[in-house]
Chains A and B, each alone.
Chain A
């Protein structure tokens, strides 16, 4: 980790001093332990603030559509790079404007599960070898990193960046296999059970839209929830409005979600979200033979068609 962090800093200093980029997007230590926060580095003097830790959980590709017209260096994990590819496919960013500093990712650590493991407030956290050490006023606990990795990171099949300009560190061996166990198990439930799970989960939703803000693919200039004409959705507390939001947020990812899980990590109410987008991802693969974020060539699946697309459901 230390070594990777130092390499990142050296690379970034070089990029900025040679004038190859105007800004580098990376992480710095957050104001709380177990957190890293997105950091926009413009001045070489600040390069030592850049960190690389098992808490760098945000998908930094989110900011690319917001910084147009600048040359950006992006410190990117496997999922961030898949999002870059998806954004390139949708022609939202220019490849020439981005320098990808790829970092093979060992998975990010679920801070909320760690917090639940200890009594009392965690004041310090760091990684030592394969252990996460957390310290509080009167405790110090060591937790095995691998057991606290986010589910979406465990599932990840592309931990190594697929495209990059420079790669920091060694490539990892891809371990995960293509599987949609969660989706398959959910499909086996009865429709009423499925609906009650969905409505119970979304009943906690406070519509803060953190899931949208965290998602690189949620770049619509005006989100349908913010549109007042037509007004798709009321601002009130009716469960159907909250459900409407959650259905459309997921469905609008059709053929676009790279499965990074940033939405679920951002959710302050810990609502189950990834099982929705995973289902869509599997359907898109099955119906249209497309996976977002892997390939620069094929057009987005909903903007194209095949004459022999599935139509048995149409009378």
Chain B
């Protein structure tokens, strides 16, 4: 694919109580943000199995965004704290392996932060646009039926 035609494809895992509602607010407030994210709604950022992130990268997304409630605001009290530990160890490990720093990014977005959500998506997609299409750790045999469009 020619680079100027290429658009980054970003998968966003959003916690239903905060970040998903924040994305909703960005929409209802008519705030513009890059259309590169595909949202997957999860009950909590602690629900995100690191396998989700790895599988997404392997299936060829250019970046992954993980977003949950601010510390202290978790609907389940501690879910985002547990998720935070998984995220920090995974991020360090992926960097160590040599997967481009920035392919997987993390944010806290509350239900009241529609503008912040738009800003985060902009920053994430700018960074991933600069990195270019994901090449490492991508399935080369081709799409598996029913997984990619």
Contact = CB atoms under 8 A, between A and B. Distances in A.
A197 B140 CA distance: 19
Contacts, number: 121
B91 interface: yes
Interface in A257-315: 276, 279-280, 283-284, 287-288, 301-307, 309-311, 313-315
Contacts of B72: 307
B91 to A, nearest CB: 6
Q: Interface extent on A, as a size class?
A: 35 or more
B73 interface: no
Interface stretch (B20-28, B31-39, B96-104): B96-104
Contacts of B96: 183, 186-187, 194, 276, 279
Interface string A21-56: 000000000000000000000000000000000000
A310 B88 contact: yes
A302 B95 contact: no
B47 to A, nearest CB: 14
Contacts of A276: 93, 96-97
A302 B55 contact: no
B82 interface: yes
B120 interface: yes
A313 B88 contact: yes
A193 B98 contact: yes
Contacts of B138: 240
Interface of B: 50-51, 54-55, 58, 71-72, 78, 81-82, 84-93, 95-101, 105-108, 120, 123, 136-141, 144
A115 B137 CA distance: 35
Contacts of A195: 97-99, 136-137
24 contacts: A186-B96, A189-B98, A191-B98, A195-B98, A198-B98, A199-B136, A234-B139, A238-B140, A240-B138, A241-B58, A247-B54, A248-B54, A250-B93, A276-B96, A279-B93, A279-B96, A283-B93, A302-B89, A304-B82, A305-B82, A305-B85, A309-B81, A311-B88, A314-B108
Given A234-B144, A240-B140, A280 B93 contact: yes
Residue in A197, A199, A254, A255 with the greatest tally of chain B CB atoms within 10 Å:
A254
A224 interface: yes
Contacts of A232: 51, 55
Residue in B51, B95, B101, B140 with the greatest tally of chain A CB atoms within 10 Å:
B51
Contact of A309 (B85, B92, B106): B85
Contact of B141 (A183, A236, A254, A284): A236
A243 interface: yes
B85 A194 contact: no
A203 to B, nearest CB: 13
Contacts of A224: 51
Contact of B108 (A243, A283, A301, A315): A315
Contacts of A241: 58, 139
A192 interface: yes
Nearest to A236: B141
Nearest to A311: B84
Given A195-B99, A195-B137, A238-B140, 13 more contacts: A186-B96, A195-B98, A224-B51, A240-B58, A241-B58, A247-B97, A248-B51, A283-B92, A301-B85, A302-B82, A309-B81, A309-B85, A314-B87
